[in-house]
Each structure stands twice: as C-alpha cells, then as structure tokens.
C-alpha cells in the first residue's frame, strides 16, 4: 500500500533518491508574473488587513465576515475506468485543471485535466475538453509521465499532478510526487511531451521526523512584497503518522524554500489534512483542503500565507445517487460567471474524479 491521505495507519516510506538536492535558500528578487486563472486581480483590501493583523497591527473596530463560499451542485464523473485506455489500478486522484487554450499554441482542447492513479505504478495522465462540463477525451498516449524516467529516476509510483503556467519561462511546469518523499517537476510547451526538471521539495528539506513530501499545489504568490513569484502548499507526513500542510516559496518555480513550520494541522480528534490549494474569490484568499472526515474545507488566509481563519465547509457529497463518499483534493476553476469544483471522490484507493458547479 502506498502511504497517502487516509485515516489508516501506514508504514512510512524510507526510500531516498541518490540525486543531489538543492538545499540553499534563494535570494528573492522582485519578479512578478501574471496571475493564474483562479488567482485573478491585485492584492485586495481584505488580504492587506489580514496581513497587517499577522504582523501585530491594530485590528479594525469591527471585523467583517468573509464573503460566502460558492455553493456547488453535483455534475458528474470525469474518469470512468472502463472508458479509459490507461487505468492500471482502476482508481484516480488529484485533479489539476490547466487552461490550455490560454497558454498553448495548438491545444487539443480549451482545457486539460491532469490526474493519476494512486497505487503503483501511478502515472500522470490527462483528458481534454472544450468545456469544463465535458465531454472529456482521453489523451491517446497516456501516461505522459511514468514511474521510470531514465536516467532521472526509477520509483514505485508517481502521482498527484499539478499543472501551472510559468510566465517567466513561457512553458507549463508539471509538479508530481514520486516516491512519497519527493515532489518533482517537469516542463512542457505542449502539455503532452515533457522534459525532466528536477526536485522541488523533499523530506530532507522539512525536518528529521518527516516521512512524506507530496500532494503539492503551486500558485502565483499572492504577496507582491514577498519577492517570490510562486507559492506552494504540500502535505507532510511524520513519524507519528500525522499529515499536515507545509508551505514553500520560489523565485523561479524550480528552487524552493520551505517554511520552517506547518501552516495547517489537523483539528483535535483527526490525524490528516491534505490536498491544500489556494483560492481567490470575491477579493478574499482561502486555503482549501480535505480532512480525515472526507469533507473539503476552506479557511481564510492572508497574502503572506501565514494566518488562517476558522474552517468552513467548501463541499461535501450529498449522499444521493452517485454523489457519495469523500470529497478530496479540491480544485476550483472559474470560467465566466460559473465556478467548477473538480475533486477526488470516493473511498481512498477506490477513488475517481468528479465535478460540481455553481449556478
């Protein structure tokens, strides 16, 4: 069994790669890039206020409640194993939606949705569509990243894809873990063929009790004053088998500096939080994630990625028809006046990718 975001106790992975890891912290330069689709606009008044509070500034006389989270209605399933050529384990996790029509020269469709099996051998795959509601077409040559990529690595599995546009290099960066101790990245100009990039974060960068550094989401850094162009949330597992969220920052998307302490830990009585992502909605930043109870949550967060608010439910399954089971690894994408939620649905090791929509 591959360790992951579950309530079950699993043995920590001990595998290490024999490659050199960049351990120095880069000196940030004031590089900025265009925001990713779900991080639109400029730093907001609400984010500035939260950042000031984190630095000890006087609080306003009356703190206003954050804007309401979107209300999603179940839409359907994206990855049906019987309909896919690449389905080595019959289960799929961690959707990452990339706006191919905005960035690629000759895309197969307007949108690419990356996903992967969780169990060995994993393998990064994608489907494409002209509408976020589908229909989705499987790419004919999946997987686009496999668990063996000579001479770069050979690991039991690769999984948890995260596709982002790197404005500085004018190419897609695809982050993925393989094995559980290491988050890697590859680059592409067409979203289908990739060059190996290297290692982004490892357990060696997080502390002696870390056993996993995986399930990364990458986004444009929301704080212009930080000097970093990119931020990352990823899951760290520990020798106590407690999964929590760590943050990292980067000037170029290649070399990363990990924050010294977790940004989010499980609440009392639970052991796991994972699949963290960054969402901006109605001039408010949120950290979204899922917990041990199979519900996806959101908490307000400041632009400096340091202060989080009380948790609120982002989405849970209705329990009606096919809309059952856990809602994990939330990915919110805005298209026009509608927001779409893509997520990992169902029991761990038996999951599929489903979606829901507002309006």
Looking at the DSSP assignment, which residues form a beta bridge with residue 278? 287
Question: Under a CB-based contact definition with an 8 Å cutoff, are residues 220 and 237 in contact?
Answer: no
pLDDT at 70 over 50: yes
- Is the predicted pLDDT of residue 13 greater than 80, yes or no? no
Under the banding of pLDDT at 50, 70 and 90, the label for residue 331 is very high
* 30 within a domain of the structure (yes/no): no
| Overall pTM > 0.85 | no
For residue 269, being part of any structural domain is answered with: yes
Average pLDDT of span 67-83: 94
Specify the pairing of strand 230-238 against strand 210-220: antiparallel
Domain count across the chain? 1
Q: Is the pLDDT of residue 11 over 70?
A: no
Lowest mean pLDDT among 27-41, 62-76, 291-305: 27-41
Q: Which pair of tokens denotes residue 170?
A: 């004018």
**Considering the domain boundaries, does residue 22 fall inside one?**
no
pLDDT at 64: 67
Do the domain assignments include residue 86? yes
In this predicted model, what pLDDT tens digit does every residue of 342-355 receive, in sequence order?
999 998 889 999 99
Residue 270 has pLDDT above 50, yes or no: yes
Residue 55 reports pLDDT greater than 70:
no
Q: What is the pLDDT of residue 63?
A: 54
**Chain center to CA of 314:** 15
pLDDT at 59 over 90: no
State the pLDDT confidence band at 4, using cuts at 50, 70 and 90: very low
Assess whether pLDDT exceeds 60 at residue 124: yes
Percent of the chain, pLDDT > 70?
A: 82
pLDDT in tens, 274-299: 999 999 998 899 999 999 999 999 99
Question: What are the pLDDT digits (tens) for 171-193?
Answer: 999 999 999 999 999 999 999 99
Query: Is residue 53 pLDDT above 50, yes or no?
Result: no
Domain assignment of residue 34, yes or no: no
Residue 215 belongs to what domain range?
Answer: 45-55+66-357
Q: What is the mean pLDDT of residues 136-143?
A: 98
| pLDDT of the residue at 67 | 80
Is residue 268, in this structure, part of any structural domain at all?
Answer: yes
The whole-chain average pLDDT of the chain stands at 86
Higher pLDDT, 263 or 59: 263
Give me the CATH number covering residue 181: 2.115.10.20
Whose structure tokens read 């990292």?
248
CA 218 – CA 222 distance, rounded (Å): 12
In degrees and rounded to multiples of 5, residue 169 shows phi and psi of -100, -5
Tell me whether residue 217 is in a domain.
yes
Contact 228, 219 (CB under 8 A): no
Q: Which of 99, 123, 121 is nearest to 112 (CA)?
A: 99
In a domain, 332, yes or no: yes
Kindly tell me if the per-residue pLDDT of 160 is higher than 80: yes
Confidence class for position 256, pLDDT limits 50, 70, 90: very high
Predicted pLDDT of residue 65: 76
Least confident window among 45-54, 314-323, 343-352: 45-54
What's the gap between Cα 76 and its chain centre?
21
Bridge partners, 154 (sequence order): 148
Q: Which residue's structure tokens are 């790419």? A: 139
Q: How far apart are CA 318 and CA 204, in angstroms?
A: 40
Which of 95-99, 161-165, 209-213, 322-326 comes out lowest in average pLDDT?
Answer: 322-326
pLDDT for 347 equals 87
Confidence (pLDDT) at 246: 98
pLDDT for the residue numbered 348: 82
């Amino acid at each position: 069994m591959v360790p992951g975001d579950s309530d079950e106790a699993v043995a920590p992975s001990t595998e290490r790669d024999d490659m050199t890891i960049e351990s120095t912290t880069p000196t940030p330069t004031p590089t900025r890039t265009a925001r990713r689709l779900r991080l639109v606009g400029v730093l907001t008044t609400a984010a500035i206020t939260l950042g000031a509070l984190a630095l000890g500034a006087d609080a306003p006389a009356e703190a206003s409640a954050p804007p309401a989270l979107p209300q999603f209605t179940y839409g359907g399933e994206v990855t049906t194993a019987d309909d896919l050529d690449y389905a080595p384990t019959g289960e799929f996790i961690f959707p990452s939606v990339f706006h191919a029509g905005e960035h690629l020269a000759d895309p197969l469709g307007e949108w690419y949705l990356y996903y992967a099996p969780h169990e060995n051998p994993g393998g990064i795959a994608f489907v494409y569509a002209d509408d976020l509601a589908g229909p989705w077409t499987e790419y004919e040559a999946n997987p686009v990243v496999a668990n063996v990529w000579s001479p770069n690595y050979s690991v039991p599995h690769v999984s948890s894809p995260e596709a982002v546009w790197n404005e500085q290099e004018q190419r897609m960066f695809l982050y993925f873990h393989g094995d559980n101790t290491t988050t890697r990245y590859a680059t592409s100009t067409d979203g289908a063929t990739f060059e190996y990039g290297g290692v982004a974060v490892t357990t060696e960068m997080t502390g002696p009790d870390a056993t996993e550094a995986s399930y990364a989401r990458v986004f444009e850094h929301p704080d212009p004053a930080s000097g970093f162009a990119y931020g990352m949330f990823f899951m760290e597992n520990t020798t106590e088998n407690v999964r929590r969220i760590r943050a990292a920052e980067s000037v170029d998307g290649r070399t990363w500096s990990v924050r010294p302490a977790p940004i989010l830990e499980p609440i009392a009585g639970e052991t796991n939080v994972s699949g963290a992502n960054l969402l901006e909605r109605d001039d408010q930043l949120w950290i979204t994630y899922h917990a041990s109870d199979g519900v996806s949550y959101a908490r307000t967060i400041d632009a400096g990625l340091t202060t989080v608010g009380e948790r609120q439910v982002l989405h849970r399954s209705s329990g009606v028809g096919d809309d059952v089971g856990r809602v994990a690894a939330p990915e919110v994408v805005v298209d026009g006046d509608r927001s779409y939620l893509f997520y990992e649905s169902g029991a761990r090791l038996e999951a599929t990718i489903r979606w829901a929509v507002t309006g």
